[in-house]
Structure 1
Amino acid sequence: MPTYITLLSWTDHGARHSRDTAERAKAFGSAVQKLGAKLLSIHWTVGPYDLVAIIEAPDDETASAALLQLGEVGNVRSTTLRAFGPEEMERIIAKAAG
């Protein structure tokens, strides 16, 4: 399944309710699972982003739907990156080589 790395920043609302962040993360994991994806891990970070989530989803549409649901709650803004593992990268390199 494709992997997505999501960089999350709290909104003002999310920061005001930071005590609920662990419970919100659990709820996000459940919501992602209902869509057929999986929250592999979530990390609270120091720096320009407040959290980093690693998600597996069957396709871009499913990953996008999960992140739209997350954004609708209003606690975070997200930037998502499609990540490629070693095997995927080998296939990409092979395609590029012709």
Structure 2
Amino acid sequence: MPTYVALLNWTEQGIRNYKETAKRADSFSAAAQKLGAKLLNIYWTVGPYDLVATIEAPDDETVTATLLQLGGVGNVRSTTLRAFGREEMDRIITKAVG
């Protein structure tokens, strides 16, 4: 299943309610599962992003729906990256080499 990396920043609402961030992560995980995605990991970070999440989803549409739903709650904004694992990259290189 494709993996995605979501770089997340708290909104003003999100930082005001920082004490609930762990509960919000649990809610996000449950909501992702209902849409067919899976929250693999979430990290609270120091630097330009407040959180980094790794998510598995069957396709771009599912992960996009998941992150739209998350953003709609109003606590974070996201930048999403498609990530390729070792086996996927090996197949990509094989394809590129011909």
> What 5-or-longer segments of structure 1 have no aligned partner?
none
How many residues align? The count is 98
Tell me the equivalent position of 1:82: 82
Over the matched positions of the two proteins, sequence identity in percent amounts to 72
Q: Please report the RMSD computed on the Cα atoms of aligned residues, expressed in angstroms.
A: 0.5
1:78 to partner: Cα distance: 0.3
TM-score using structure 1 length: 0.98
1:72 to partner: Cα distance: 0.3
Question: Hey, which bits of structure 1, 4+ residues long, moved more than 4 A?
Answer: none
> What 5-or-longer segments of structure 2 have no aligned partner?
none
1:90 to partner: Cα distance: 0.5
Deviations 1:67-93 (CA, angstroms, capped at 9, x unpaired): 000010010000000000000000000
**Matched position secondary structure for 1:49:** coil
Distance 2:75 2:35 in 1: 20
Distance 1:13 1:36 in 2: 27
Distance 1:29 1:8 in 2: 15
Deviations 1:21-52 (CA, angstroms, capped at 9, x unpaired): 00000000000000111000101000110000
**Matched position secondary structure for 2:36:** coil
